[in-house]
Structure 1
Amino acid sequence: MLFSNTFNVESADKVQLWPNGVIPYVIHQDLWQEEDLILASMRHIEDQTCIKFKPRENEKDYIGIIKGSGCYSYVGKLNRGGPQPVSIGEGCEFAGSIIHELIHVTGFHHEHSRIDRDKYVKILWNNLSPDTTKQFAKVDPKKYPQFYKFDYESVMLYGSTAFSKDGRSPTMIPIRGGRKRLQEVYHKKGMSPTDAKRIRKLYRCNDSYMKKK
């Protein structure tokens, strides 16, 4: 199984949101076998938030969902024009993995990138594959939203063996709640209630908007 990579826009003062929560998309033809799962993952997010994914018409900014090398996405909207890549590569064909990448698109980093994560998880740096430590870097809460308490159930939280140098050794372990392991993203069926709540807060979703969906 492959794990998610994220990319930041270094010059941005803070995460850029999609106007009115509308995210135009194009799904590359190479993903014809995964298209139904991708669309179902979009609906999963739409059903619990005011985010709306729509097939691109002539929008300048949109996400291009491709079958690249692994799973990756930028965080938020780039505002550069042209397709913003979201890769659903080999090994990423799971609902949890796809939803994870789409939530990056809405503007969220990993749960274990929170500034307070050391109160909840321990990173085992010596067990990480070379050059993957950046995936566990903390992010500035002034630039990226970190609403509500740390959520062990979040689809944005890596599992216990993510980026393990041998595929078996733990790279991150929980230190609260009596948990022994963290569930891998690809085993998760979808967003946690807190994931959905965070998106609704970031995009200022309201009940009247939800009723129109």
Structure 2
Amino acid sequence: MAPLRIEKISCVKFVEASREQKYFVNITSDEVGCHCEDIGWRNHRTKVNIGLGALDQGCFRMGSIIHELLHVLGFEHQHVAHNRDEYVRIVWENINAENRINFHNNETYIGWNNYGEQYDYGSVMHYISNAFAKNISQPTIVALKTGGSKMGQRRGLSKTDVRKLNKMYKCPGHV
């Protein structure tokens, strides 16, 4: 289970919400696809959708569920980091118009913080090279440095993801 994997490597704990709680994370399968309503905890009910599908495919992969839970915990996509243009080139003309928002790096609500860690092609928060492509045989993200071939994995947290999570939550004994 994804929450247990996050709990095992950090001080972050997930607890079942009681009926009296006003603010909680609501994990559903009401819609198509995987998405989180908000990045970071905003003191209200936050919806995370994990669209139904075959086990170990699409949203039903451990890394995809971890990806969405990291959004709830405050992680933004790696490929929108403020220094991303040093590491990737976004191919805007190959991105479906309705999905371009997923590539903008103008977050102002929570702000971007890499917690002293380098750009991480292997982050569970990085998209694959042809994410939301009009032409899936062509990339939407092109790596500019060595290591880009691992871009967009959904197996689980990278070592850098773990360090960032523990720095973000000031986890004693984990940093």
TM-score range, shorter chain: 0.7 to 0.9
After superposition, the C-alpha distances for 1:84-111 in whole angstroms (9 at most, x for unaligned) are 1000013311111111000001001000
TM-score, normalized by length of structure 1? 0.72
CA distance, structure 2, for counterparts of residue 206 and residue 155 of structure 1: 23
Distance 1:86 1:178, change over 3 A: closer
Aligned-residue identity in percent: 35
TM-score, normalized by length of structure 2? 0.86
After superposition, the C-alpha distances for 1:105-155 in whole angstroms (9 at most, x for unaligned) are 100100011110010011111111122111111134872322211011110
Q: After TM superposition, what 4+ stretches of structure 1 lie above 3 angstroms from structure 2?
A: 139-142, 181-185
The correspondence of residues 33-182 of structure 1 with structure 2, limited to 5 A, is 40-57=1-18, 58-67=20-29, 68-73=31-36, 74-80=38-44, 83-90=45-52, 91-140=58-107, 143-147=111-115, 148-177=117-146, 179=148, 181-182=149-150
Distance 1:108 1:70, change over 3 A: same
- Which amino acid in structure 1 is aligned with residue 11 of structure 2? C
- Which amino acid in structure 2 is aligned with residue 69 of structure 1? V
Aligned partners of 2:121 and 2:152 also within 8 Å: no
CA distance, structure 1, for counterparts of residue 87 and residue 112 of structure 2: 19
Give the alignment's Cα RMSD to 1 decimal: 1.8
Structure 1 runs not aligned, ≥5 long:
1-39
* Residue-pair matches, total: 164
CA distance, structure 1, for counterparts of residue 91 and residue 39 of structure 2: 25
- Which amino acid in structure 2 is aligned with residue 93 of structure 1? F
SS at match of 2:127: coil
CA distance, structure 2, for counterparts of residue 116 and residue 162 of structure 1: 20
